[in-house]
Amino acid sequence: MRNTELLIPASSLEVLKAAVLYGADAVYIGGEMYGLRAKAKNFSPEDMREGISYAHEHGVKVYVTANIVAHNGDLAGIRKYFEELAEMGPDALIISDPGVFVIAKEMCPEIDIHISTQANSTNYGTYNFWYNQGASRVVAARELSLKELKEIRDHIPEDMEIEAFVHGAMCISHSGRCLLSNYFTGRDANRGACTHPCRWKYFVSEETRPGEYLPVEETDRGTYIFNSKDLCMIEHIPDLLEAGIDSLKIEGRMKTALYVAAVTRTYRRAIDDYKKSPECYEANLDYYRSEIAKCTYRQFTTGFYYGRTDENSQIYDANTYIKEYTYIGIIQKTDDRGWCQIFQRNKFSVGEEIEVMNPDGSNLQLPVLAMEDGEGNAVESAPHPKQEIWIDLGQALEPGWLLRRKEPS
């Protein structure tokens, strides 16, 4: 078995720190340009320097995305950007465009290059091509099965790494190469500006009846013909590790710190449990399922890993998320009383029960005993987003731990 890495997305410095605390081996982030998540918060140069330094201090690697399909007007800026990255020292650049790849080799010779899933690498010949160009890793096309990945592993050099998505949103287009957004809105998904038209509701129009829109109904809510379920492989960690995959990648560079912490912690424990023994992993399957279900998600699928069957079909009949827990905040610091400072994300009140996520995988169910605002005034609730609040949960807790609340069923 190879030394498999858990790779986690981070949209901001706050989320990066949560990923590190809750068990990431590596994080991938984007700068303010040239990545495929332009609508994410992304990292300013200052935050990127701090994030790389923080991760490295904790033994965690940082990969920077620069995986747009570049046009002529992008190349000069990319060259300057890579010059700045060379000074910051991330562990790898994630690239899909051959022209950008050449610039990266010139400007960042000491930084590894990983080939993005956008490059659509579906066979071992392509992996060997990129290896011979100097890439150290290829992110597998999402359309590959585990059988195909094993075959790739058997036909590439031992020191070449395979990265594969194991959890998160799936794009309905082949390896994410979507043209719908650009066609409908002029915002190019392949340059980071996707408007997610795959999540829209569609109708049929008959050419001789302009203005009449006919619903194509699978249910009484309509149909969402381009939607995909979310990928979830938490119940199949043994197959992933035995396939020779080097990096298990979580999707979600637009997700909250709560989502990232919950998914990271669960996959971390599942990987570690299986490495202890298959029996340990099997004994904790219910725990993994229950913790993943506490994240915001759509319906789940195993994607293409086991071939296409009715049981793991990607298509589903709604575009709504399932949300069982609400994000309360992150403990920033504690005082001599043992009270915790947070900048709250959603309203909660004295007397409510809060779930505290311990990075070791356990959860603490604690009542909110008392609450003060930033000036020390007693308050009964925290109604304003990002308001400074001090709370008494009855016991000492650690900075960086996340708080959430279960929604009524």
* 273-291 as b/e: b if 16+ CB within 10 A: bbeeeeeebeebeeebeeb
Residues 34 and 140 in one domain: yes
pLDDT per residue as tens digits for the range 160-219? 999 999 999 876 666 666 667 776 777 776 666 677 766 677 767 777 887 877 666 655
The count of domains in the chain is 2
208 in a domain, yes or no? no
What CATH number does the domain containing 376 carry?
A: 2.40.30.10
Between 347 and 178, name the one with better pLDDT.
347
Q: Tell me the residue ranges of DSSP E strands in 281-401.
A: 300-301, 325-330, 333-334, 340-343, 353-357, 363-367, 370-373, 388-392
- Between CA 311 and CA 101 the distance in angstroms is 39
Across 18-33, average pLDDT: 93
Residues 161 and 289 in one domain: yes
Segments forming the whole domain that contains residue 368: 325-406
198 in a domain, yes or no? no
297 in a domain, yes or no? yes
45 in a domain, yes or no? yes
Residues 292 and 383 in one domain: no
192 in a domain, yes or no? no
φ, ψ dihedrals at 234, nearest 5°: -65, -25
Residues 284 and 375 in one domain: no
Residues 288 and 344 in one domain: no
151 in a domain, yes or no? yes
Query: Which residues lie below 8 Å from residue 290, measured CB to CB, with a gap of 6+?
Result: none
- Between CA 372 and CA 378 the distance in angstroms is 4
pLDDT value of position 384 = 82
Name residue 378's beta-bridge partners. 372
92 in a domain, yes or no? yes
- Between CA 29 and CA 260 the distance in angstroms is 13
319 in a domain, yes or no? no
Residues 129 and 56 in one domain: yes
Residues 20 and 142 in one domain: yes
162, 137 Cβ separation under 8 angstroms: yes
| pTM higher than 0.95 | no
Alpha helices in 232-303 (DSSP H): 237-242, 257-276, 278-283, 285-292
Residues 66 and 99 in one domain: yes
Query: Which residues lie below 8 Å from residue 197, measured CB to CB, with a gap of 6+?
Result: 178, 180, 181, 184, 185, 226
Residues 123 and 236 in one domain: yes
